Each structure stands twice: as structure tokens, then as C-alpha cells.
């Protein structure tokens, strides 16, 4: 991956962005596999899909990482909340709905 300042044309820039997008999707697919494993492990530990304190911890971690990298933390929070809600719904399909803690 090259630095943006090294890129001299829009075609090159778009190719770099497309490559990044593929990497992001691959990482999200990896994350989904871990969510699936969480749904397998949680019943043995008596855990519901939604654990409110964990949701906030994950979102705060993402916000802090965004701030440290000069990204808009509100944008990252919104994206992470959407991803976390999707993940919880995915777990609930396996676990059944719970009250959350």
C-alpha cells in the first residue's frame, strides 16, 4: 500500500481505495466468524446476545481508536453501533432473544 501523497492520478487512487475496501470486507467477514463463535460459547456461560456494558466498551474502544488516528469519532461510533446491532441480531438467531444485562 502506498501513501496517498505518492499517488499521481485518480485511476491509481481509485485502485488503492478499491484494494482497501476489499481488505475491510475481509476483516468484517473475519469478525462475523468470531461473532458466530460467541453465539456458540455464550450458552455455556449463561450469557445473552446483548450485554449492554460490553456494547458500550466495544463502541468506546472504536471511538478512542478513531480519535487516535484522526478520524471522526462520531462517524466511527455510528458505524460500530450498526455493526454491533447486526452482530447481536446474528447471535439472537442462534440464542433466542434475551433481556440483556
Known binding-site residue numbers: 14, 31, 42, 91
* Residues annotated within a binding site for substrate: 14, 31, 42, 91
CA 58/CA 81 separation, integer angstroms: 9
Amino acid at each position: 500500500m502506498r501513501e496517498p501523497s505518492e499517488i499521481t492520478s485518480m485511476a491509481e487512487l481509485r485502485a488503492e481505495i478499491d484494494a482497501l475496501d476489499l481488505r475491510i470486507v475481509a476483516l468484517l467477514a473475519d469478525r462475523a466468524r468470531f461473532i458466530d463463535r460467541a453465539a456458540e460459547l455464550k450458552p455455556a456461560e449463561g450469557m445473552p446476545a446483548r450485554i449492554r456494558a460490553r456494547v458500550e466498551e466495544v463502541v468506546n474502544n472504536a471511538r478512542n481508536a478513531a480519535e487516535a488516528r484522526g478520524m471522526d469519532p462520531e462517524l466511527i461510533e455510528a458505524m460500530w453501533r450498526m455493526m454491533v446491532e447486526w452482530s447481536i441480531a446474528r447471535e439472537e438467531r442462534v440464542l433466542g432473544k434475551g433481556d440483556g444485562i
